[in-house]
């Protein structure tokens, strides 16, 4: 993720305009799971009701039926995200500092192997159409393709900039945000060849991504804007205002609703597309710093993470040039926030 693993910002609650068809969303649970390390992506393995939380050097696993820690995957240095090949019973983590992917068993969480990939693997995706894992390698500006059957690298996707987050329609199209150019690129996951790319300006710095596969609409979370693209026509069609500091996106086909998790505002933006192409919106207060999330397609709930931080030390030396002052996380305060439809 482009904005680091930990940060604390002010909380701003936005007004909401709620269309009658949108379920009213709210925070339905909070699980204080504690543990050490920062965090980045949240990844939901819906078939196994397990939530994967990257913690810097290890991957924490939480059972969403109980809200309790169910396991841990160690030795994932600089881990960012996880992807799941459920039919094969295997999961994969992207380890940014080691330039590797860890392969693990989805039932036991036992490590099965390691695969060397491009430089700076960040976001990670499983594509059912090709039965491949793809890593977004931010520093080498490409994506590595791994065959799930063999856990071997089968090729590299050359991109036109820095990839931030990918999504697949599982029918032969993978879409990826190109963060430094404010573009979306589409490629074939079998041939690894580019199909198209397009600008999403004036939306800037796309981070999270989600897909309405039925309508071929790609949602890219940008600075205070959601860019909506036609993924087959290869062009942006509109932008919708969202909260500040977004870093993840999700889409729930049950209600035709897209989501953005906004860490600076401490909110989730809920967007429902109308028949005329406009969007009705709702804003759900969460907690400052809750910038990453994933959707459980079975329960239709969102899972976000954040923590409490100690006040800055007034006696600490100022940060050096190009550095950012870090605040210490309050021990044991790491929390999962569950957002879902409420009565």
Mean pLDDT of 171-175: 98
State the pLDDT confidence band at 325, using cuts at 50, 70 and 90: low
Tell me the sheet residues that pair with 131. none
Report yes or no on 168 lying in a domain: no
Report yes or no on 46 lying in a domain: no
State the pLDDT confidence band at 310, using cuts at 50, 70 and 90: confident
Residue 8: pLDDT over 60: no
Residue 9: its pLDDT value, please?
Answer: 33
Q: Collapse the DSSP code of 159 into the 3-class scheme (helix H, G, I; strand E, B; otherwise coil) and give the result.
A: coil
Mean pLDDT of 43-54: 98
CA distance 30 to 231: 36
Q: What percent of the chain has pLDDT over 70?
A: 92
pTM, entire model: 0.90
Q: What is the 3-state secondary structure (H, E, C) of 222-280?
A: ECCEEEEEECCCCEEEEEEECCCCEEEEEEECCCCEEEEEECCCCEEEEEEECCCCCEE
How many folded domains does the chain comprise?
1
Report yes or no on 218 lying in a domain: no
Report yes or no on 295 lying in a domain: yes
CA distance 118 to 166: 16
Report yes or no on 311 lying in a domain: yes
CA distance 137 to 124: 9
Residue 36: its pLDDT value, please?
Answer: 86
State the pLDDT confidence band at 316, using cuts at 50, 70 and 90: confident
Q: Collapse the DSSP code of 48 into the 3-class scheme (helix H, G, I; strand E, B; otherwise coil) and give the result.
A: helix
Q: What is the residue range of 306's domain? A: 7-36+245-316+327-343
Average pLDDT, rounded, for the chain: 92
Q: Are strands 246-252 and 257-262 parallel, antiparallel or unpaired?
A: antiparallel
Report yes or no on 65 lying in a domain: no
Residue 28: pLDDT over 60: yes
Report yes or no on 301 lying in a domain: yes
Residue 314: its pLDDT value, please?
Answer: 74
State how far Cα 149 lies from the chain centre: 25
Instruction: Classify burial at 74, counting beta carbons within 10 Å of its beta carbon; exposed 0-12, middle 13-18, buried 19 or more.
Output: exposed
Q: Is pLDDT larger for residue 59 or for residue 321?
A: 59
Report yes or no on 286 lying in a domain: yes
């Amino acid at each position: 993720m482009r904005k680091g693993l930990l940060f604390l910002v002010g909380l701003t609650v936005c007004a909401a305009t709620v269309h009658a068809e949108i379920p009213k969303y709210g925070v339905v649970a909070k699980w204080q799971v504690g543990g050490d390390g920062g965090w980045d992506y949240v990844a939901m393995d819906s078939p196994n009701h397990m939530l994967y939380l990257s913690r810097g050097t290890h991957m924490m696993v939480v059972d969403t039926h109980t809200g309790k820690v169910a396991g841990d995957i160690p030795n994932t240095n600089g881990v960012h995200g996880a992807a799941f090949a459920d039919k094969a019973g295997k999961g994969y983590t992207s380890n940014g500092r080691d330039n590797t992917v860890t392969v693990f068993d989805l039932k036991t969480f036992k490590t099965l192997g390691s695969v060397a990939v491009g430089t700076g693997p960040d976001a990670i995706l499983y594509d059912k159409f090709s039965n491949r894992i793809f890593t977004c390698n931010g520093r080498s500006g490409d994506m590595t393709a791994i065959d799930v059957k063999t856990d071997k690298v089968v090729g590299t996707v050359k991109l036109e900039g820095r990839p931030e987050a990918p999504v697949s329609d599982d029918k032969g199209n993978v879409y990826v945000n190109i963060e430094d150019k404010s573009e979306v690129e589409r490629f074939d996951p079998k041939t690894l060849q580019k199909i198209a790319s397009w600008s999403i300006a004036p939306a800037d710095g796309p981070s999270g991504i989600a897909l309405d596969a039925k309508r071929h609409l790609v949602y890219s979370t940008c600075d205070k804007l959601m860019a909506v693209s036609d993924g087959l026509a290869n062009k942006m069609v509109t932008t919708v205002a969202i909260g500040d500091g977004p870093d993840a996106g999700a889409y729930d086909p049950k209600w035709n609703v897209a989501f953005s998790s906004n860490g600076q505002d401490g909110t989730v933006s809920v967007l429902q597309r109308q028949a005329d192409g406009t969007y009705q919106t709702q804003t759900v207060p969460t907690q400052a710093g809750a910038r990453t999330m994933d959707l459980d397609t079975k329960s239709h709930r969102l899972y976000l993470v954040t923590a409490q931080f100690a006040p800055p030390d007034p006696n600490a030396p100022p940060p050096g040039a190009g550095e950012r002052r870090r605040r210490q996380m309050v021990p044991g305060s790491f929390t999962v926030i569950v957002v879902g439809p409420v009565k």
